[in-house]
Amino acid sequence: MTRAETSTGRTVTALRDLILRGDVPAGARLAEVELAERLGVSRTPVREALGRLAAEGLVELVPNRGARVASWSVAELEGVFELRAALEPRLTALAVPRATPADVEALHDLAHAMVAVGSPGPDQDLDALVPLNREFHDRLVALADHPATAAALAGAVHPPIVVRNFHSYDDASLRRSLAHHVEIVAAVRAGDPAWARAVMTAHIHNARAVMVRAAADAQEDR
């Protein structure tokens, strides 16, 4: 790896962290010169980092106006979660009869790992929670074995929304979300599609409430 590649990678990580922590708010302009000074790098890795983060959906590149932190309106978020609530609970129910004992144990391990790293407290690590959450949900979708619905869901679930989701939770909402994963495993273990579907529906509505509230607050601030 060259020095330039290393510098760009570090800049991507640093800028992503600033955005996800809320240090640079949604809709804020991202000036290359200011970011280069703030991060202690030249403008070149900053420019490349903005391009990579635009590909991730965290940054918007606006023609003739530069870059800004991506933002979602309340209406856009409600649409995303409405579609997700129509699709993901159905896939979860379809996954239940297809889950083997090994699948159940894998989901169990993921759910409890999420509780361990995500529970509010001094040992909380929201960055570690993100890949565990993604794997949990992806396993259920894969088990459902319904490609058309899975493809539609993939178009509705934007990774930046999911990632920022955890940074927007209050303690009560986060504990509720973590408990939902554990209960979904219990429903899968019991072979009860209706139970699993109901909990996933509650899980998505919990996330929706968090994100819509955060977006509404951000719109008021702007």
pLDDT band at residue 132 under the 50/70/90 scheme: very high
HSE of 18, CA atoms in CB hemisphere, 13 A: 20
pLDDT at 162 over 90: no
The mean pLDDT of 68-87, rounded to a whole number, is 86
pLDDT band at residue 77 under the 50/70/90 scheme: confident
| Residue limits of CATH 1.20.120.530 in the chain | 74-221
pLDDT at 141 over 90: yes
| Cβ(68)–Cβ(34) below 8 Å | no
Indicate the angle between helix axes 3-20 and 32-39, nearest 10 degrees.
Answer: 100
pLDDT band at residue 127 under the 50/70/90 scheme: confident
pLDDT at 146 over 80: yes
Which is more confidently placed, 98 or 13?
A: 98
As given in the structure block, the two tokens for residue 160 are: 């930046």
- Specify the CATH architecture of the domain 74-221: Up-down Bundle (1.20)
* Residue bearing tokens 């702007």: 222
The mean pLDDT of 75-87, rounded to a whole number, is 89
| pLDDT in the model for residue 26 | 74
Rg (CA), the chain: 19
Rounded Cα–Cα distance for residues 91 and 104 (Å): 16
The mean pLDDT of 113-137, rounded to a whole number, is 93
| pLDDT in the model for residue 41 | 93
Indicate the average pLDDT of the chain: 88
pLDDT band at residue 1 under the 50/70/90 scheme: very low
pLDDT band at residue 20 under the 50/70/90 scheme: confident
Q: In terms of C-beta density within 10 A (0-12 exposed, 13-18 middle, 19 or more buried), how is residue 172 classed?
A: exposed
pLDDT band at residue 158 under the 50/70/90 scheme: low
Q: Does domain 3-69 have CATH number 1.10.10.10?
A: yes
| Residue limits of CATH 1.10.10.10 in the chain | 3-69
pLDDT at 122 over 60: yes
- The DSSP letter of residue 29 is E
